[in-house]
Amino acid sequence: METNNLLKTCELLYASYNLPIICFNDRNEVIKFNCSYLGYEKVFRHIANRVTGESNPSLVSGYAGLYGAIKTNDEKTLILVGPFKNKKISDDLFASLIHEHNLDWNELDSLKEFIGNIPRISYNKFLNFICLVHYLINREEISIVDFFNSQNNDFKVPEKYTEEIWKEDDFIHGTYNLEQRLLSYVRNGDVEGLAAFFKTVANTPTPEGKLADDALRQSKNIFIGFIALVGKAGAIKGNLDIEQTYQLIDLYTQECERCISVNQVNELRYNAIIDFAQRVADQKHPEAYSDEVYSALQFIKTHTNQPIGVDDVLKHVYKSRSMFMEQFKKETGETIARYIIKAKLQESKQLLAYSNKSIADISNFFYFSSQPHFQRAFKNEYGITPLAYRKKKLNK
């Protein structure tokens, strides 16, 4: 697409959807600023500098939310879309935003007004909008499943699993344990755990139920009931704001009714679940973390079933031992070694409660030096032995 046509397309998209769309050339210069608040240009420049060439389109996180990044096929133009607000911005986050990007404190009210006026849409719609921009600019059609698969740090579900994960009677009306495991991941805000869980479910043989004559209507009915369960028994119990949860349930219900295929309902379903889990996680883990510490936390959480240690974390973040260990302790209140153990123990609770793995197998799975070591660590952390915890969960 010629540059003039590209810029006009972005201008029309902004006029139609009111989502800020900023265009940069290959020298990182702004060539089109479709945004109502000029002072936000510094933020967009910072986000643009963090875009990598690993995937296109891609997602970039910031204090105000998520941004979509789309590069033209000739890589001469970068388009940023956002921010997508996945939660209410607190005064502390506004302060961090101003400090991080050297914004004018006198413009705080204007900044709040700008963020507040960005349309509230679901995560699913935001991803679809990014896919739309990518299609209009590059003439390449991608689905949300493709989009998720292209991300390194976000929820991944291979497309081949999608249909099997969401078989009507297979998953939604499946075993009680599967349902409770999913709700537990949402309550804990464990996005990475959800990814692994969905892959496990996709490979679990379970009987298929008989679909109604109208498969789309049945899929929608199941979605509506299930998303209410995820919100009430998952997100609210994970301390997500009750009003926000009910608004999300209503928003996703409305969006479900607009789906025109079973596959669209399926995609919306796992997007909604990850959205709930991410909101719970954001609440549990404030964005006060520096990029380095946040990267370390994500590395630890995604490697709990591997024999990692402090040196592995330091290697991941490319930081020296003395400086980073002090920084990590200051921001998290824990040493790196202690956080690794706590992450493994937290994951072990899921397997104790919702799997048939033996305690010895669970200990080996998380690379504890021995079963007694695992049992001692678990009791020291939770005041109960692994076996007693399992029995307690089974008796509920």
| 77 belongs to a structural domain | yes
**Residue 196: per-residue pLDDT:** 73
Distance of CA 103 to the CA centre of its chain: 27
Looking up residue 24, the CATH number of its domain turns out to be: 3.40.1840.10
| 286 belongs to a structural domain | no
Task: Determine whether 190 is exposed, middle or buried from the number of CB atoms within 10 Å of its CB (0-12, 13-18, 19+).
Answer: buried
Same domain, 77 and 18: yes
Contact 228, 182 (CB under 8 A): no
Q: How many domains does the chain have?
A: 3
Same domain, 130 and 230: no
Same domain, 295 and 272: no
Q: Which of 144, 165, 188 is the last residue of a domain?
A: 144
Same domain, 221 and 345: no
Q: Which of 118, 144, 170 is the last residue of a domain?
A: 144
Same domain, 277 and 299: no
Same domain, 131 and 196: no
Main-chain phi, psi angles of 71, to 5 degrees? -100, 145
Widest CA span in the chain:
68
**Residue 373: per-residue pLDDT:** 94
| 230 belongs to a structural domain | yes
Q: Which of 226, 257, 281 is the last residue of a domain?
A: 281
Same domain, 256 and 353: no
**Residue 193: per-residue pLDDT:** 79
Same domain, 15 and 125: yes
Same domain, 8 and 139: yes
**Residue 207: per-residue pLDDT:** 43
**Residues comprising the chain, all counted:** 396
Q: Which residues of 58-86 are buried (b: 16+ CB within 10 A; e: fewer)?
A: bbbbbbbbbbbbbbbeeeebbbbbbbbbb
Same domain, 273 and 345: no
Contact 197, 274 (CB under 8 A): no
Provide the residue range defining the domain that includes 350: 291-394
Looking up residue 315, the CATH number of its domain turns out to be: 1.10.10.60
| 173 belongs to a structural domain | yes
Task: Determine whether 368 is exposed, middle or buried from the number of CB atoms within 10 Å of its CB (0-12, 13-18, 19+).
Answer: buried
Contact 274, 194 (CB under 8 A): yes
Same domain, 123 and 206: no
Same domain, 304 and 273: no
H/E run at residue 34: strand 30-34
pLDDT tens digits for the chain (396 residues)?
788 888 899 989 888 888 899 999 888 888 888 888 888 888 888 888 888 766 788 887 776 778 889 998 888 899 999 888 756 677 767 777 787 778 888 888 888 888 888 887 777 778 888 888 998 998 888 766 555 544 433 333 333 334 444 443 444 444 566 778 888 889 888 887 787 777 666 545 444 444 444 667 777 888 888 888 888 888 888 878 777 788 888 888 888 888 888 778 888 887 888 889 888 887 665 556 787 887 888 788 778 888 899 999 999 988 888 889 999 998 888 999 999 999 899 888 877 876 778 999 999 989 999 999 999 999 999 999 999 998 887 775
